[in-house]
Amino acid sequence: MPDIASIDPRPFIGRDLGKVTLIKELGRGTMGIVFIGYQKTLRRQVAVKILPKLITHNPIAQQQFRDEAETVAIFNHPNIIPIFEMDETDDFFYQVMQLIDGSDLDSVIKDRLLHPLPAKRILPLGQTLDIILQVLSGLGYAHDKGVIHQDIKPSNILMDHETDRPLIADFGIAKTAQAEIQKGDNVIGSPLYMAPEQAGGETTDGRSDIYALGMILFEMVAGGLPVRDRTPQEILIRKICDHANLFTKKPSQVSPLVNNELEDIILRALAGKPGDRYQDCRSFTDDLAAFKTRFCPVGAAGGPGRVA
Protein backbone atom coordinates (compact mmCIF):
# COMPACT_ATOMS: atom_id res chain seq x y z
CA MET A 1 0.00 0.00 0.00
CA PRO A 2 1.43 3.44 -0.92
CA ASP A 3 2.13 6.10 1.69
CA ILE A 4 1.88 9.90 1.64
CA ALA A 5 5.51 10.30 0.50
CA SER A 6 4.94 8.14 -2.59
CA ILE A 7 1.82 9.90 -3.88
CA ASP A 8 2.26 11.71 -7.22
CA PRO A 9 0.62 15.16 -6.88
CA ARG A 10 0.29 15.80 -10.61
CA PRO A 11 -3.12 14.14 -11.08
CA PHE A 12 -4.55 16.50 -8.47
CA ILE A 13 -3.37 19.73 -10.10
CA GLY A 14 -6.24 21.57 -11.81
CA ARG A 15 -8.88 19.47 -10.07
CA ASP A 16 -11.95 21.27 -8.73
CA LEU A 17 -13.16 20.60 -5.21
CA GLY A 18 -16.42 22.46 -4.99
CA LYS A 19 -15.51 26.08 -5.69
CA VAL A 20 -11.77 25.54 -5.14
CA THR A 21 -9.25 24.59 -7.85
CA LEU A 22 -5.98 22.92 -6.82
CA ILE A 23 -3.01 24.87 -8.18
CA LYS A 24 0.20 23.32 -6.83
CA GLU A 25 1.59 21.26 -3.97
CA LEU A 26 2.70 23.21 -0.92
CA GLY A 27 3.94 20.41 1.33
CA ARG A 28 3.11 17.08 2.90
CA GLY A 29 3.23 15.31 6.22
CA THR A 30 1.99 12.17 7.92
CA MET A 31 -1.65 13.32 7.82
CA GLY A 32 -1.94 14.48 4.21
CA ILE A 33 -0.73 16.55 1.26
CA VAL A 34 -1.26 20.32 1.30
CA PHE A 35 -1.97 22.22 -1.92
CA ILE A 36 -2.42 25.87 -2.77
CA GLY A 37 -5.94 26.27 -4.13
CA TYR A 38 -7.91 29.09 -5.72
CA GLN A 39 -11.36 29.79 -4.30
CA LYS A 40 -13.27 31.19 -7.27
CA THR A 41 -16.25 32.57 -5.36
CA LEU A 42 -14.13 34.86 -3.16
CA ARG A 43 -11.21 35.22 -5.59
CA ARG A 44 -8.59 34.24 -3.05
CA GLN A 45 -5.96 31.58 -2.54
CA VAL A 46 -6.49 28.98 0.17
CA ALA A 47 -4.67 25.94 1.49
CA VAL A 48 -6.21 22.54 0.84
CA LYS A 49 -5.12 19.44 2.75
CA ILE A 50 -6.10 16.11 1.27
CA LEU A 51 -5.90 12.59 2.67
CA PRO A 52 -6.10 10.06 -0.20
CA LYS A 53 -8.32 7.08 0.60
CA LEU A 54 -5.91 4.93 -1.39
CA ILE A 55 -3.31 5.14 1.38
CA THR A 56 -5.50 4.81 4.43
CA HIS A 57 -8.16 2.24 5.01
CA ASN A 58 -7.52 2.82 8.71
CA PRO A 59 -10.75 4.17 10.23
CA ILE A 60 -8.77 5.79 13.08
CA ALA A 61 -6.72 7.91 10.64
CA GLN A 62 -9.84 8.85 8.72
CA GLN A 63 -11.63 9.84 11.92
CA GLN A 64 -8.62 11.90 13.06
CA PHE A 65 -8.79 13.83 9.79
CA ARG A 66 -12.50 14.56 10.32
CA ASP A 67 -11.95 15.34 14.00
CA GLU A 68 -9.28 17.93 13.17
CA ALA A 69 -11.64 19.85 10.90
CA GLU A 70 -14.56 19.66 13.31
CA THR A 71 -12.34 20.69 16.24
CA VAL A 72 -10.66 23.68 14.61
CA ALA A 73 -13.86 24.82 12.90
CA ILE A 74 -15.21 26.00 16.26
CA PHE A 75 -12.00 27.86 17.14
CA ASN A 76 -11.73 31.61 16.70
CA HIS A 77 -8.26 32.73 17.72
CA PRO A 78 -5.66 34.86 15.89
CA ASN A 79 -2.91 32.29 16.57
CA ILE A 80 -4.74 29.23 15.25
CA ILE A 81 -5.17 28.61 11.52
CA PRO A 82 -8.90 28.53 10.69
CA ILE A 83 -10.48 25.71 8.69
CA PHE A 84 -13.24 26.82 6.30
CA GLU A 85 -14.58 23.52 5.02
CA MET A 86 -14.23 19.74 5.25
CA ASP A 87 -15.63 17.22 2.75
CA GLU A 88 -14.72 14.11 0.78
CA THR A 89 -14.74 12.77 -2.77
CA ASP A 90 -14.62 9.19 -3.98
CA ASP A 91 -10.81 9.39 -3.81
CA PHE A 92 -9.91 11.44 -0.74
CA PHE A 93 -10.94 13.51 2.25
CA TYR A 94 -10.06 17.20 2.17
CA GLN A 95 -9.97 20.36 4.28
CA VAL A 96 -9.97 23.95 3.02
CA MET A 97 -8.19 26.42 5.30
CA GLN A 98 -6.53 29.81 5.39
CA LEU A 99 -3.35 30.06 3.33
CA ILE A 100 -0.51 31.61 5.31
CA ASP A 101 2.02 33.66 3.36
CA GLY A 102 5.13 32.70 5.26
CA SER A 103 7.37 29.94 6.53
CA ASP A 104 7.10 27.49 9.36
CA LEU A 105 9.10 28.21 12.49
CA ASP A 106 11.39 25.25 11.82
CA SER A 107 12.53 26.90 8.57
CA VAL A 108 12.94 30.25 10.31
CA ILE A 109 15.21 28.70 12.97
CA LYS A 110 17.29 26.77 10.42
CA ASP A 111 17.61 29.71 8.02
CA ARG A 112 18.95 31.90 10.83
CA LEU A 113 21.63 29.31 11.61
CA LEU A 114 23.02 29.85 8.10
CA HIS A 115 23.69 33.56 8.68
CA PRO A 116 27.38 34.43 8.13
CA LEU A 117 27.51 36.46 11.35
CA PRO A 118 27.42 34.27 14.49
CA ALA A 119 25.54 36.96 16.43
CA LYS A 120 22.70 36.78 13.87
CA ARG A 121 22.23 33.02 13.95
CA ILE A 122 19.38 33.15 16.44
CA LEU A 123 16.40 35.48 16.62
CA PRO A 124 16.55 38.50 18.97
CA LEU A 125 15.38 37.47 22.42
CA GLY A 126 12.40 39.85 22.41
CA GLN A 127 11.16 38.42 19.11
CA THR A 128 11.54 34.86 20.39
CA LEU A 129 9.55 35.66 23.52
CA ASP A 130 6.83 37.37 21.47
CA ILE A 131 6.45 34.22 19.36
CA ILE A 132 6.28 31.90 22.37
CA LEU A 133 3.80 34.15 24.18
CA GLN A 134 1.49 34.24 21.17
CA VAL A 135 1.65 30.46 20.78
CA LEU A 136 0.86 30.15 24.49
CA SER A 137 -2.19 32.31 23.89
CA GLY A 138 -3.41 29.99 21.14
CA LEU A 139 -2.66 26.86 23.14
CA GLY A 140 -4.36 28.25 26.23
CA TYR A 141 -7.45 28.96 24.15
CA ALA A 142 -7.46 25.39 22.80
CA HIS A 143 -6.95 23.94 26.28
CA ASP A 144 -9.87 25.99 27.60
CA LYS A 145 -11.96 24.36 24.85
CA GLY A 146 -10.84 20.95 26.10
CA VAL A 147 -8.40 20.27 23.25
CA ILE A 148 -4.77 19.15 23.62
CA HIS A 149 -2.68 19.55 20.47
CA GLN A 150 -0.17 16.74 21.21
CA ASP A 151 2.17 17.58 18.32
CA ILE A 152 3.50 21.07 19.04
CA LYS A 153 6.79 21.51 17.17
CA PRO A 154 8.40 24.25 15.05
CA SER A 155 7.10 22.84 11.76
CA ASN A 156 3.53 23.07 13.10
CA ILE A 157 3.88 26.79 13.85
CA LEU A 158 3.53 28.95 10.74
CA MET A 159 4.92 32.50 10.66
CA ASP A 160 2.89 35.05 8.71
CA HIS A 161 5.47 37.19 6.87
CA GLU A 162 3.29 40.27 6.79
CA THR A 163 2.42 40.41 10.50
CA ASP A 164 5.14 38.21 12.06
CA ARG A 165 2.25 36.43 13.76
CA PRO A 166 2.69 32.74 14.61
CA LEU A 167 -0.25 30.45 13.89
CA ILE A 168 -0.65 26.93 15.23
CA ALA A 169 -1.33 24.32 12.55
CA ASP A 170 -2.09 20.62 12.32
CA PHE A 171 -4.46 19.54 15.05
CA GLY A 172 -4.52 16.16 13.29
CA ILE A 173 -3.70 14.13 16.41
CA ALA A 174 -5.32 16.47 18.91
CA LYS A 175 -7.14 14.68 21.71
CA THR A 176 -8.89 15.57 24.89
CA ALA A 177 -7.59 12.65 26.91
CA GLN A 178 -5.38 9.59 26.31
CA ALA A 179 -2.69 9.87 23.65
CA GLU A 180 -3.10 7.35 20.85
CA ILE A 181 -0.11 5.01 20.62
CA GLN A 182 0.22 2.91 17.50
CA LYS A 183 1.10 -0.76 17.67
CA GLY A 184 4.79 -1.45 17.29
CA ASP A 185 7.55 1.08 17.76
CA ASN A 186 5.78 4.11 16.26
CA VAL A 187 4.42 6.75 18.58
CA ILE A 188 2.00 9.34 17.28
CA GLY A 189 3.74 12.67 17.75
CA SER A 190 7.30 13.98 17.42
CA PRO A 191 9.82 12.33 19.79
CA LEU A 192 12.11 15.34 20.16
CA TYR A 193 9.30 17.62 21.38
CA MET A 194 7.08 15.00 23.00
CA ALA A 195 6.54 15.03 26.76
CA PRO A 196 7.75 11.95 28.69
CA GLU A 197 4.22 10.90 29.63
CA GLN A 198 3.16 10.97 25.98
CA ALA A 199 6.25 9.02 24.97
CA GLY A 200 5.33 6.38 27.53
CA GLY A 201 1.71 6.11 26.42
CA GLU A 202 0.37 7.62 29.63
CA THR A 203 -2.48 10.09 30.02
CA THR A 204 -1.73 13.50 28.54
CA ASP A 205 -3.18 16.92 29.25
CA GLY A 206 -2.32 20.56 28.58
CA ARG A 207 0.97 20.18 30.42
CA SER A 208 2.18 17.94 27.59
CA ASP A 209 1.80 20.84 25.15
CA ILE A 210 3.59 23.10 27.66
CA TYR A 211 6.55 20.70 27.65
CA ALA A 212 6.71 20.79 23.84
CA LEU A 213 6.65 24.59 23.83
CA GLY A 214 9.40 24.62 26.45
CA MET A 215 11.51 22.58 24.03
CA ILE A 216 10.84 25.11 21.28
CA LEU A 217 11.80 28.01 23.55
CA PHE A 218 15.06 26.23 24.48
CA GLU A 219 15.77 25.57 20.79
CA MET A 220 15.09 29.16 19.75
CA VAL A 221 17.32 30.79 22.36
CA ALA A 222 20.10 28.22 21.82
CA GLY A 223 19.88 27.68 18.06
CA GLY A 224 19.50 23.96 18.69
CA LEU A 225 18.76 21.36 21.34
CA PRO A 226 21.77 19.76 23.12
CA VAL A 227 20.19 16.32 23.50
CA ARG A 228 22.33 13.34 24.39
CA ASP A 229 20.71 10.94 21.93
CA ARG A 230 20.26 11.18 18.17
CA THR A 231 17.68 8.69 16.89
CA PRO A 232 13.96 9.10 17.62
CA GLN A 233 13.88 5.73 19.39
CA GLU A 234 16.82 6.66 21.64
CA ILE A 235 15.19 9.96 22.52
CA LEU A 236 11.92 8.24 23.40
CA ILE A 237 13.66 5.75 25.66
CA ARG A 238 15.67 8.51 27.35
CA LYS A 239 12.53 10.55 27.99
CA ILE A 240 10.75 7.57 29.51
CA CYS A 241 13.62 6.09 31.53
CA ASP A 242 16.20 8.82 32.17
CA HIS A 243 14.74 12.25 31.49
CA ALA A 244 17.13 13.96 33.94
CA ASN A 245 19.99 13.21 31.53
CA LEU A 246 18.20 14.15 28.29
CA PHE A 247 20.31 17.29 27.77
CA THR A 248 24.09 17.51 27.74
CA LYS A 249 24.02 21.19 28.76
CA LYS A 250 21.72 23.62 30.49
CA PRO A 251 20.24 26.51 28.49
CA SER A 252 22.62 29.04 30.07
CA GLN A 253 25.61 26.90 29.05
CA VAL A 254 24.51 26.97 25.42
CA SER A 255 23.23 30.50 24.95
CA PRO A 256 24.49 33.91 26.14
CA LEU A 257 20.87 35.11 26.00
CA VAL A 258 19.85 32.98 28.97
CA ASN A 259 20.25 34.22 32.52
CA ASN A 260 19.21 32.35 35.69
CA GLU A 261 15.62 33.59 35.57
CA LEU A 262 15.01 32.56 31.97
CA GLU A 263 16.74 29.25 32.57
CA ASP A 264 14.42 28.54 35.49
CA ILE A 265 11.41 29.27 33.26
CA ILE A 266 12.65 26.95 30.51
CA LEU A 267 13.55 24.12 32.88
CA ARG A 268 10.22 24.37 34.71
CA ALA A 269 8.38 24.01 31.40
CA LEU A 270 10.61 21.01 30.63
CA ALA A 271 10.22 19.20 33.95
CA GLY A 272 10.04 15.44 33.45
CA LYS A 273 7.05 15.05 35.75
CA PRO A 274 3.88 16.93 34.77
CA GLY A 275 3.30 17.97 38.37
CA ASP A 276 6.62 19.86 38.39
CA ARG A 277 5.81 21.85 35.24
CA TYR A 278 3.72 24.92 34.71
CA GLN A 279 0.21 23.66 35.34
CA ASP A 280 -1.41 25.76 32.62
CA CYS A 281 -0.56 28.21 29.86
CA ARG A 282 -1.52 31.19 32.01
CA SER A 283 1.15 30.55 34.64
CA PHE A 284 3.77 29.98 31.93
CA THR A 285 2.66 33.18 30.22
CA ASP A 286 2.76 35.20 33.44
CA ASP A 287 6.37 34.28 34.18
CA LEU A 288 7.55 34.71 30.59
CA ALA A 289 5.75 38.05 30.13
CA ALA A 290 7.16 39.38 33.41
CA PHE A 291 10.66 38.36 32.33
CA LYS A 292 10.19 40.02 28.93
CA THR A 293 9.02 43.25 30.55
CA ARG A 294 12.14 43.44 32.70
CA PHE A 295 14.76 42.41 30.15
CA CYS A 296 13.31 43.27 26.74
CA PRO A 297 11.86 46.78 27.03
CA VAL A 298 9.61 48.13 24.29
CA GLY A 299 11.59 49.78 21.52
CA ALA A 300 14.77 47.84 22.28
CA ALA A 301 14.79 46.15 18.86
CA GLY A 302 14.04 42.73 20.21
CA GLY A 303 15.75 43.25 23.52
CA PRO A 304 19.43 43.33 24.52
CA GLY A 305 21.95 40.90 23.13
CA ARG A 306 22.41 39.49 26.60
CA VAL A 307 20.35 39.63 29.76
CA ALA A 308 22.17 39.61 33.06
Tell me the pTM. 0.87
- Nearest C-alpha neighbor of 166 from the set 130, 192, 202, 196: 130
Domain 102-295 CATH superfamily: Transferase(Phosphotransferase) domain 1 (1.10.510.10)
Q: Which residues contact 33 (CB under 8 A, 6 or more apart)?
A: 4, 7, 9, 12, 25, 27, 49, 50, 52
- Each residue's pLDDT expressed in tens, for the chain with a length of 308 residues: 567 778 888 889 999 998 999 999 998 876 688 999 999 999 999 999 988 877 656 666 677 777 777 777 888 999 999 989 888 888 888 989 999 999 999 999 999 999 999 888 899 999 999 999 999 999 999 999 888 998 999 999 999 998 889 999 987 666 543 334 333 344 567 899 999 999 998 989 999 999 999 999 999 999 999 999 989 999 999 999 999 999 999 999 999 889 999 999 999 999 999 999 999 999 999 999 999 999 886 654 444 333 33
CATH value of 4-98 in 1.10.1060.10, 3.30.70.890, 3.40.50.970, 3.30.200.20:
3.30.200.20
Whole-number Å distance between alpha carbons of 18 and 222: 46
Look at residue 69 in the predicted model and tell me its pLDDT.
74
- Nearest C-alpha neighbor of 81 from the set 207, 192, 166, 8: 166
Our answer to whether residue 287 is catalytic in this structure is no
Write down the domain spans for the chain.
4-98, 102-295
- The active-site residue, picked from 151, 170, 209, 229, is 151
Look at residue 304 in the predicted model and tell me its pLDDT.
38
Look at residue 297 in the predicted model and tell me its pLDDT.
67
Look at residue 138 in the predicted model and tell me its pLDDT.
97
Look at residue 56 in the predicted model and tell me its pLDDT.
58
Look at residue 233 in the predicted model and tell me its pLDDT.
93
Look at residue 70 in the predicted model and tell me its pLDDT.
78
Pairing between strand 102-104 and 92-98? unpaired
Helix (H, G, I), strand (E, B) or coil at 160: strand
